[in-house]
Each structure stands twice: as C-alpha cells, then as structure tokens.
Chains A and B, each alone.
Chain A
Amino acid sequence: MTGERRIKTKRGGRKKLFISLGIVVLLCLVPLSTTSPYYLHTLIITFIYVMAAASLRTILLSGQISIAHAAFMGVGAYASAILAKELGWTPWLTMPLGGLFSLVFGAVIGYPLTRVRAIYFSMVSLFVGLAIVALLGVLQGITGGDIGMIDIPPLSAIAVPGLPHIDFDGSKIPYYYFFLILSFLILLVLYRIEHSRIGTSWKAIAQAHMVASAVGINESGMRILAFSVGCFFAGLAGAGYAHYNMVLTRSSFGFLSSINLLIYVLVGGSGSFAGPIIGTAVLVIVPEIVRSLQTFAPFVFGGIMLFVVFFMRQGIAGLFEQLQSKLTRSKKREMPGRAP
C-alpha cells in the first residue's frame, strides 16, 4: 500500500514538474515578445512577491500565521544594501548574506514567538513587523529613515570567461531572467522542504500540536525552524528587490505589505503549494490591468478577496485541486474497494 502510494505521488510530482517547467519556458519567452519595461517590471515584482509569499506559506505550514513577513524582506533588503553600499561588497555576496541575516533575526524573534499560538501569534508577529519597521526608522543614520536609502549598487555584471558578458545596468531583461531563475530555484527548494520529514512535522504541528509533541516532534524547535527558513527566503527576495529597485523606503516593508503577502497566500490557497504563486500572480497583475479605474481599483482587489472566500473556500488553487479530484474520483469509481 505504501509503496503504491509513493509511486503515485512521484508520478504526480513529475506531472507537476512538467507543468511548472512549461510555465517557466513560457515565461522565458516573454522578453522576446515584449521589451516594454512596464510589463517586465510588473513581472519582476510578481516574481519577487512569489518568492516572499511562498516562503510565508512555509511558515503557515507550521500553523503560524505571520503578519511580519514583509518586515523580514526589509531586514534582508537593508542588510544586503548596507553591506553593498557601505563596504562595497558585490551584491552577489551580500544578497545571500542579507538572507542569512534575516534567518538569524527570524530565529531570534521566532524563539519568544513559540510561546503564543493561533490568533495571539498573529497579533504578536504583527508587532514584531511594526517594531522592525520602527527600528529601521530609528537607525536613520544608516538606513536613511523616512527619506529612504538611495544609490544602492545594482547587481554587478557577470563576466565569466567563455560566457557572454551580462550587464545589469540599463536593461530590465537580465533582471527578468535573474528573478525568474531565482524564484524557480527557491520554489524548488521550498517544495523539497515541504515534502521532506521536516515539512510533514510542520503540518503535524499545525494540525494538532499536542499530538505532534506526544509523538516526539520538537514543537518549538520545528516552529522556530519554519519561521527562520521562511525569513531566510523572504530576506533573499527582499535583497534581490533592493538591488533591482536601487532605492529602499521603509514604508514598503510596513504593515500593509505584510498584510498583502498574507492576502496573496490566503487568496491563492494556503493548502496547496501552487496557492501563493497563483494568488500573487492574480493579485499583482489584476490591479495593474484595472489601473485605469484609479480610485475604484481597490474595489476589484477587495471584491476578488471576498469572492474567493465565499465561493472558493480553499483559495484559487484549491479550485483546481477540487476539479482534479473530481476527475480522478469519477475514474476511481470503476475500481471498487479502495479508499479515496
């Protein structure tokens, strides 16, 4: 029975891999059909938020609804930007360092947060996010405070002998490919983590923390791990954003941004891996399409959210899964004696 199931999940995994590779190939072709900086910019921002939202879902897996995630993007972004600007290190080094800084920060913060659960966790994480943003304001000597931080170096050119020279100055196309590849890799890693023993422990904690600790799962350790892993990738995404945008203001990592990330995940469907990806794509791109509505555009955003809650309980991704399970169920009906 278990062997059978494992084969099945592997086959399902391969199908998913093909679908996602297909999407990546399609996205690779985008810069060939349009070089409009506006479209590319929208997609780059989407990639960045996909990374952040997917890493937020990793935290959600362990039953912790964090409302501080954008702030951890900010931690990574400012750490990387400061290292690159003040010490003159190459962004290729400072970006992972920014992620690491965010990881350490996340672990330090995640430790006291294990004392609270459910809504209380959400509320406290909200403060943590605000406190980080306030801290960025207090440290205005190096972060620029409310004026913002300018002159952040862009990604330095890739000049490997034998490869074409890739320059990140001027065009958005190299950035586009960079973020496409980065987000694909991050999603792969997150997917592997989720389907490992660790991911299963997280899900167990989310479902019943007492039972999980009774069977020997170190609950607080696992929760801290989930939180810091999520923060690492958020920091990485933030660091990428810093070197793409080249200007940072602390308000872009504030309460509303954290809330938006959470909305992306929940509207997309926190129950499935594709959820945050679909949610981010829909909720970043649709408002750009309806931008001409100006002040009425938020109604579209809010309308989508309410629509999803009322008619797609499992999020947009859940809709696909429901359709899929309906299809497979009708197939399975022909084979008697097997539980769905």
Chain B
Amino acid sequence: MISEAAVQTVANVFMLSAIYILVALGFALLMNVLGILNFAHAAIYMAGGYICYELIVGAGMNPWVSLLISAVAIGALGLLIERVLFRPFLKDMNSIVVITLALIIILEATVNVTVGSYIRRIPSFVPGVFRVGTVSLSGDRLATFVIGSCLLAAAILFIRKTKTGTQMLAVSQDFDAAALQGINTRRIFALTTAIGCALAAVAGSLMGAVLSLSPLMGDYMLVKAIEIVILAGIGSIGGVLIGGLILGLLDASLPLFIGGSATDLIGLSIVIILLLFRPQGLFGHEA
C-alpha cells in the first residue's frame, strides 16, 4: 500500500513537473530572448486548454488533432501578439507590464463570455489505466509525462542544435551583437513567441485532461512559471528543467503532509531564501 502511494506520488511529481516546465520554458524564452516579462503567458496556457476543450467537446474532433490545432492556433496568436502588442514596446517595461496584464484580463473575460466560468474537464486523451506490477497509473498522467518530455527534448534540441535555435541563444545573450552579426532579430522574436505560446497551449490542454480547466488556472501557473525561472536563474534553459522538477516535487508531495497554503509558503520561502544567497538563481550567470 505504502509503496503504491509512493509510486503514485512519484508519477505525480513527473507529470506536474512536465507541465510546469512546458509553461516555464516558454516564459523563460520570452524573457531571455525578447527581454520582456510576459505576465500573460499563463493566460495563454489557459486559452490553449480551452481551445482544445472546445474542439473536442464542442466540435467533436479527435483529441490528438484538437491538441495539435490548439497548439498551432495559440502559436499563431503568439505571432499576432508579438507583432501588434510586444514589438512596439520592447524597451518600455511599464508599457509591457500594462499590455500583458490587459491581455490576462481580456483572455479571461473572453473565456468567461464564450465558454463560461464553470470548471471544465477535457475528456481523456488516453482513457483507461496502465498497470505496472501492482501499481496502476492513469493513461492521461502517463501521456502527459511522455508528451511533455518529448516536447521538451525537441525544444531543447531545437535551441541547441539548429541554426535558428543558436540564433535565439545569441539574441538572448547580446541583442546588439547578434543584430550586428546579421541575425534577423524580428524573425527570432516572432519565432520565439510562437514556440513559447504553442508549448504553453499543449501544457494547458494536458492540464485540462489530467486535472481541470478554469479561467483562473493561469494565475496559479504564472506564479509557478516565475518561481521556476527564478530558481533556474536568468538565461539558463537547463536550469528551467531542474527548477521545474524541484517545484513539481514540492507541489506534488508536500500537500500529503501539510496544508495547501503551507506548501505555497514553503515553495515561496525557498525561492526567497535562495535569492538571499544566490541572487542569480541556481544556474544563472548574474542577476
């Protein structure tokens, strides 16, 4: 019995971490490459989940096709947002803060008006449970973990190995030097936003199947994304993975022993204490 609970918890840790990292990776990319703090990133994650929900439940489409469409649609939305809302204000932090907050309000209101504010649940992508020995795992949790890890591996390979990815890294390290090298920074900005948003959309859809969808789910995830990025340190992609695992471990295991708000408090305190001793995060270069 005890071992089963332990295995379930471990499975939860990995599942939750995968979702956290998917969202936090996009958030970190936007922050490193564009240099903006996109508060709306988690609202975009929420919107992705709802698009997937509407396609499956409303239009009766195949779940996997819906997941893909949702990611593509949100990626396109990201392109639009980057072009219209972000690009004119890249150097102006105050404006970016107002714009991204306005985006949160508008996206949440759009969901409230179109779908409603009740909590929804996306039907299972992989119905049924898998049995490994005496332990059973729900298909969705397994699928979330598998999809999440594959996407992460793909994203990291893309960033590290392809020319475009290297260009993204170059822009994130030094915008001016990268632009002088002839890198098309506008294209990189657009691509980064699209990728980040699409990853968030997938995470939102998966979360909708594993747990539930609500218009306010983004607020919670925004905090987690920021926590992970701070833990990781600015400019570190690998750190996002570690940070996501740490936070997933805390959030999936601590509530078993102590209350929900105490868990939040511990997670937040760890981040604050870490900052006291290592302002640059675990893997960052400098703050």
From known contacts A123-B229, A134-B268, A298-B105, infer whether A115 and B276 are also in contact, taking CB-CB under 8 Å: yes
The answer to whether B98 touches A117, judged by C-beta atoms less than 8 angstroms apart, is: no
Q: Given A116-B275, A131-B264, 11 more contacts at CB 8 Å? A: A65-B94, A120-B287, A122-B37, A134-B264, A255-B223, A266-B94, A270-B94, A296-B113, A302-B106, A305-B102, A309-B95
Q: How far is B37's CA from A59's CA once the two chains are assembled, in angstroms?
A: 19
Q: Most B CB atoms within 10 A — which of A123, A124, A262?
A: A123
The answer to whether B223 touches A112, judged by C-beta atoms less than 8 angstroms apart, is: no
Q: How far is B276's CA from A112's CA once the two chains are assembled, in angstroms?
A: 6
Give a binary string over B100-112; 1 marks a CB under 8 Å from any A CB, 0 the rest: 0111011011001
Give a binary string over B269-287; 1 marks a CB under 8 Å from any A CB, 0 the rest: 1011001100100000001
Q: How far is B271's CA from A251's CA once the two chains are assembled, in angstroms?
A: 22
From known contacts A115-B276, A123-B37, A134-B265, infer whether A65 and B109 are also in contact, taking CB-CB under 8 Å: no
Which residues of chain B have a CB within 8 Å of any CB of chain A?
31, 37, 39, 85, 89, 92-95, 97-99, 101-103, 105-106, 108-109, 112-113, 219, 223, 226-227, 229-230, 234, 259-262, 264-265, 268-269, 271-272, 275-276, 279, 287
A217 is an interface residue with CB less than 8 A from chain B: no
The answer to whether B106 touches A298, judged by C-beta atoms less than 8 angstroms apart, is: yes
List chain A residues, Cβ under 8 A from B219.
Answer: 255-256
Interface residues of A in 277-326 (CB under 8 A from B): 295-299, 301-303, 305-306, 308-309, 313
A130 is an interface residue with CB less than 8 A from chain B: yes
Q: How far is B287's CA from A259's CA once the two chains are assembled, in angstroms?
A: 24
The answer to whether B98 touches A263, judged by C-beta atoms less than 8 angstroms apart, is: yes
Name the residue of chain B whose CB is nearest to the CB of A305: B102
A70 is an interface residue with CB less than 8 A from chain B: no
The answer to whether B97 touches A115, judged by C-beta atoms less than 8 angstroms apart, is: no
Q: What is the number of residues of chain A that contact chain B, defined by CB distance less than 8 Å?
A: 42
Q: How far is B55's CA from A322's CA once the two chains are assembled, in angstroms?
A: 49
Which residues of chain A have a CB within 8 Å of any CB of chain B?
65, 112, 115-120, 122-124, 126-128, 130-131, 134-135, 137-138, 145, 255-256, 259, 262-263, 266-267, 270, 295-299, 301-303, 305-306, 308-309, 313
Q: How far is B94's CA from A298's CA once the two chains are assembled, in angstroms?
A: 21
30 A-B pairs in the complex with CB atoms less than 8 angstroms apart: A65-B93, A115-B275, A115-B276, A116-B275, A120-B287, A123-B37, A123-B229, A124-B272, A126-B226, A130-B268, A131-B264, A134-B261, A134-B264, A134-B265, A134-B268, A135-B265, A137-B264, A138-B262, A255-B219, A255-B223, A256-B219, A262-B97, A266-B94, A266-B98, A270-B94, A297-B109, A298-B105, A299-B106, A308-B98, A309-B98
The answer to whether A302 touches B102, judged by C-beta atoms less than 8 angstroms apart, is: yes
Q: How far is B223's CA from A298's CA once the two chains are assembled, in angstroms?
A: 22
The answer to whether A137 touches B261, judged by C-beta atoms less than 8 angstroms apart, is: yes
Q: How far is B272's CA from A308's CA once the two chains are assembled, in angstroms?
A: 34
List chain B residues, Cβ under 8 A from A266.
Answer: 94, 97-98
List chain B residues, Cβ under 8 A from A116.
Answer: 275, 279, 287
B36 CB to nearest chain A CB (Å): 8
List chain B residues, Cβ under 8 A from A123.
Answer: 37, 226, 229-230
The answer to whether A306 touches B101, judged by C-beta atoms less than 8 angstroms apart, is: no
Q: Most B CB atoms within 10 A — which of A131, A270, A301, A308?
A: A131
List chain B residues, Cβ under 8 A from A127.
Answer: 223, 226-227, 230, 268, 271-272
B80 CB to nearest chain A CB (Å): 14
From known contacts A119-B37, A134-B264, A299-B109, infer whether A309 and B230 are also in contact, taking CB-CB under 8 Å: no
